[in-house]
């Protein structure tokens, strides 16, 4: 049976401007980092994508190496796109990235023009689409001149293979430099994708200010600290958890699940209950409270998690007292 999206989907989501650009992002974006690989259940992946789009999540975030195995998330997405989403292409934002190890030899990694152009061509082929909406350099390359990396992003836009470009995991100084080079080339750097959660707040040490000054959007990955900021680990590590699965590729490290962290999570959970939210909803709302963050990227292993996450928009403001209490708990 062919997929027909919910006709009220746009009423369920808030859309935020990405920096000074014309681009609007849904407050929640769906990341395909996990659960869309060659080892995963494609029927479940399909249901997650349907649920996301039915709830106004128009942005699907990928990377060349998402899987496992690397590349398989893009293949899965390409198959489901062809089946269900092709006629909705102009309602979707599709992003991908390059910059982590992808294939053997000297050109399969980092930030050379050779790697970035080849990687995006492979990604487009796997997904069966002629262009992506956003293409990111996935991490800074200490050995390639940034001028070369940014020239590759500029070329990609000029060739029509991406509409917008951005960077991920760059420091404030690197972001400033990338922005400046791209501006001089005539292609704006519209977005930065940093790791940001209650447990990971490095972005507050200058990066958010750089985004604001330069009119760039921010989109946070791992806003739930790989699942730590959910009720999943309140009683230790469950059997079916990614922390137990030894899958690597961004699964939560067992050493993050310390008694000290679990105690913090318990206190935060109690606070979320007082706000009539799940802990995950409160954690997402907390990241979204900063207007410099255009969107947060959620992951989901089942459709219900998408619906729970979208519920964060029902109560997304915090009193000064609540913010102080959160800081106190996290100290």
pLDDT digit string, tens, across residues 132-159: 999 999 999 999 999 999 999 999 999 9
Tokens at residue 30, please?
Answer: 């769906």
Long-range contacts of the stretch 42-45 (C-beta < 8 A, 24+) = 42/76, 42/79, 42/80, 44/301, 44/302, 45/76, 45/80
Residue 246 predicted with pLDDT over 50: no
Q: What does the block give as tokens for 307? A: 């619906």
- Is the per-residue pLDDT at 99 higher than 90? yes
Contact (CB, 8 A) for 144 and 112: yes
More confident residue, 249 or 185: 185
What's the burial of 256, exposed, middle or buried (CB within 10 Å: 0-12/13-18/19+)? middle
Q: How far apart are CA 271 and CA 260, in angstroms?
A: 17
Task: Please tell me the distance from the alpha carbon of residue 191 to that of residue 172, in angstroms, as a whole number.
Answer: 13
Structure tokens at 230: 């959910």
How do residues 277-314 score in pLDDT, each as one tens digit? 999 999 999 999 999 999 999 999 999 999 999 999 99
Neighbours of 122 (CB within 10 A): 17
Alpha carbons 234 and 302: distance in angstroms, whole number: 20
A 10 A CB-CB count for 295 gives 28
Q: Residue 324 has which token pair?
A: 């102080």
How many whole angstroms from its chain centre is CA 42?
20
CA distance 331 to 328: 5
Per-residue pLDDT reduced to its tens digit, 229-243: 999 888 777 776 656
φ and ψ of 239, to 5 deg: -55, -45
| Range from 88-97, 250-259, 293-302, 310-319 carrying the lowest mean pLDDT | 250-259
pTM: 0.95
Q: In sequence order, what DSSP letters do the residues of 14-62 get, joined into one string?
A: -EEE-TTSS-EEESEEEE-SSS-STTS-HHHHHHHHHHHHHTT--EEE-
Q: Give the C-alpha separation, 331 to 164, whole Å.
A: 38
Residue 251's pLDDT is: 64
Instruction: Give start and end residues of each alpha helix (H) in the chain.
Output: 42-54, 72-80, 113-127, 146-158, 172-185, 207-214, 242-245, 259-274, 279-288, 303-310, 320-330
Side-chain-side CA neighbours of 147 within 13 Å: the count stands at 2
For 276, phi and psi rounded to 5 degrees?
A: 60, 40
CATH number of the 9-228+280-314 domain: 3.20.20.100
Closest CA relative to residue 114, chosen from 148, 145, 159: 148
Residues 6+ apart with CB under 8 A from 92: 53, 58, 59, 60, 85, 133
List the structure tokens of 331: 């100290």
Q: How much is the pLDDT for 81?
A: 98
The answer, yes or no, to whether residue 183 has pLDDT greater than 60, is: yes
What percent helix, strand, coil does the chain show, rounded to 5? 45, 15, 40
């Amino acid at each position: 049976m062919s997929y027909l999206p919910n006709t009220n989907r746009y009423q369920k989501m808030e859309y935020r401007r990405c920096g000074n650009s014309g681009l609007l992002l849904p407050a929640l974006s769906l990341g395909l980092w996990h659960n869309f690989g060659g080892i995963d259940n494609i029927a479940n992946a399909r249901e997650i994508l349907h649920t996301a789009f039915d709830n106004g999540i128009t942005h699907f975030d990928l990377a060349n190496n998402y899987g496992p195995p690397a590349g398989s998330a893009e293949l899965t997405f390409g198959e489901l796109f062809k089946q269900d989403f092709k006629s909705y292409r102009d309602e979707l934002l599709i992003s991908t990235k390059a910059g982590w190890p992808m294939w053997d030899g000297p050109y399969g990694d980092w930030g050379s023009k050779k790697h970035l152009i080849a990687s995006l061509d492979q990604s487009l082929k796997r997904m069966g689409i002629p262009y992506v909406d956003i293409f990111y350099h996935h991490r800074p390359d200490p050995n390639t001149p940034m001028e070369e990396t940014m020239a590759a992003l500029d070329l990609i836009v000029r060739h029509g293979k991406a509409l917008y470009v951005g960077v991920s995991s760059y420091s404030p100084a690197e972001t400033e430099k990338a922005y400046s080079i791209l501006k001089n080339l005539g292609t704006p750097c519209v977005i930065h994708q940093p790791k940001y959660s209650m447990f990971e707040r490095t972005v507050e040490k200058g990066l958010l200010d750089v985004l604001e000054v330069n009119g760039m959007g921010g989109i946070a990955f791992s806003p739930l600290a790989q699942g730590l900021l959910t009720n999943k680990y309140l009683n230790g590590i469950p059997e079916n958890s990614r922390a137990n699965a030894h899958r690597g590729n961004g699964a939560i490290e067992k050493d993050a699940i310390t008694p000290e962290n679990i105690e913090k999570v318990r206190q935060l959970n109690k606070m979320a209950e007082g706000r009539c939210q799940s802990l995950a909803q409160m954690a997402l709302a907390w990241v979204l409270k900063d207007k410099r963050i255009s969107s947060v990227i959620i992951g989901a292993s089942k459709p219900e998690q998408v619906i729970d996450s979208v519920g964060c928009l029902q109560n997304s403001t915090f009193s000064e007292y609540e913010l102080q209490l959160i800081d106190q708990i996290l100290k």
